[in-house]
A = this chain, B = another copy of it.
Amino acid sequence: MLDESGSKISPRTISRLPVYWRYLKELDDFGIERISSRELAGRIGSTPSQLRQDLNQFGHFGQHGYGYPVEELLSSISQILGLNRTRKMIIVGMGNLGMAIASYENFGRRNIKLAALFDVDPERIGTVVSDVQIQHADEMPKFLEENQIDIGCVSTPPEVAQEAVTTMEHGGVLGIWNFAPVKLQTKLPVEHLHLGDSLLELLYRIGRREDK
């Protein structure tokens, strides 16, 4: 069994799963068949203890005295992350950041399909990015009614982010990938990614360094 339903997975563990997935994928691509927690943790910059503790929240993937079979573990983690099924994503807000997200080459590897792009700027509407044509945001409710969308990516200016999210929630979207620096009112799971906050954290750490 991959996931003992009912058991609470620690948030820290969850945020490390994508990292494990990336490293295992790389090992698998290189044809490496087995790896120990010590070796894998070493590459990732973690500890064997933490790695085993994390994995054991989901099940028993290793073999005593041997380590972990790479391909099997990768497949297990893929399934835990939900990579075994294709998810459809739309993006609202096709400024520079929206463009960059839409052009992100690695969606395919993660089984994400770009289903639609929206903006309000007449100059942008009609433009094709990654084989998808930008539509007017007014079309979104109708589009969502006709298509089951899993992920709604928000890269609008902060002022209109909430409105976009409300529309998405009503339209049956299952989760929000938010790049706008605002707290969103929604019952959906939101994954927040804010460039400014990340940069400020770096700024702080640079400052501490200089103090010494």
Contact surface of A with B, Cβ cutoff 8 Å: 3, 5, 14-15, 17-19, 21-22, 43-45, 80-83, 87, 95-97, 99-101, 103-104, 106, 110, 112, 150-151, 174-177, 181, 183, 189, 191, 193-207, 209-211
List the 5 closest pairs (A to B, CB-CB), nearest first: A82-B207, A18-B200, A191-B202, A100-B100, A18-B197
Copies of this chain, tallied across the complex: 2
Closest chain B residue, CB of each to CB of A211:
B5
Instruction: Establish whether residues B202 and A151, one from each chain, have CB atoms under 8 Å apart when the complex forms.
Output: yes
Compute how far the CA of A110 lies from the CA of B204 in the bound complex, rounded to whole angstroms: 12
Compute how far the CA of A177 lies from the CA of B191 in the bound complex, rounded to whole angstroms: 20
Instruction: Establish whether residues A206 and B80, one from each chain, have CB atoms under 8 Å apart when the complex forms.
Output: no
Question: What is the distance, in angstroms, from A180's C-beta to the closest C-beta of chain B?
Answer: 11
Instruction: Establish whether residues A204 and B14, one from each chain, have CB atoms under 8 Å apart when the complex forms.
Output: yes
Closest chain B residue, CB of each to CB of A130:
B96
Given known contacts A82-B206, A196-B106, A200-B110, is B99 in contact with A181 (CB within 8 Å)?
no
Closest chain B residue, CB of each to CB of A89:
B199
Question: What is the distance, in angstroms, from A94's C-beta to the closest C-beta of chain B?
Answer: 11
